[in-house]
Amino acid sequence: MLRFWEKRIKTGIVTENLEFDKELEEIKKQIKDKIKKHFAGSLAIRMVDSGSCNACEAECNALSNPYYDLERLGIHFVASPRHADVMFLSGVMTMNMYHHAIDCYNQMPSPKWVIAIGDCVKDLGIFEKTYAIKGNDLKIDYFIPGCPPNPKDIIKGLLEFLKTLE
C-alpha cells in the first residue's frame, strides 16, 4: 500500500491538461456571452438521429457530463421540437427517419436552425448507394465535421455557428 502512495505522489495528477482546460474555458465564456446576446440566456437543442451509428449521439451525451457541463452555459437538450431553437442532425437520412426529421423541423418555432453533426450527414459515407438511404433535403445552416466529432469540436462548432448569427 505504501508503494502505491509513493508512486502516486511522485507521479502527480496525470489526467489534467491545463492548456486544453484554459482553451475550453475561453470557448465556454464566449458561448455563454453569445447565447446571452442572441437567445436571452438559454439555447434549446433538439437532437435528431436520422440513421447514425450513435457515435455522434454519444459525443453529444458527453457534453452534459461535469467536465463540459453545457447546462451551466444555458444550453439544454430538449425532448420536444416545439421547445427547440436549434436541431442537431446526425447520421445519414434513412427512408424510415426522413418524415420524422422533416416533422421535427416543421414543428420547431421560427427562427430555427439546423446544425449537422458528423460526416455522414454531408457525404453519406459508405452508405451512399444503399437502398435505405433517402438523402437530406433540410437546409443545413452549419456543419460540424468529424466521425464522430469529439465534444471539444462540437463546442467549437457551436461557437462558430453562434458567430454566424451576428
pLDDT at residue 162 tops 80 = yes
Q: Give the position of cell 454531408.
A: 122
Q: Which of 8-12, 35-39, 56-60, 113-117 has the highest mean pLDDT?
A: 113-117
β partners of residue 143: 116
pLDDT at residue 146 tops 80 = yes
CA 107 to the chain's CA centroid: 20
102 vs 18, more confident: 102
Query: CA-based angle 145:162:51, to the nearest 5?
Result: 40
Phi/psi for 131 (5° steps) reads: -70, -25
Angle between helices 151-164 and 18-39 (to 10 degrees): 40
Question: pLDDT, tens digit, for every residue of 19-51?
Answer: 777 888 899 899 999 999 888 889 999 999 888
Radius of gyration in angstroms for the set of CA atoms belonging to the chain, rounded to a whole number = 19
User: How much is the pLDDT for 160?
Assistant: 93
Q: How far apart are CA 27 and CA 49, in angstroms?
A: 26
Q: How far apart are CA 59 and CA 69, in angstroms?
A: 13
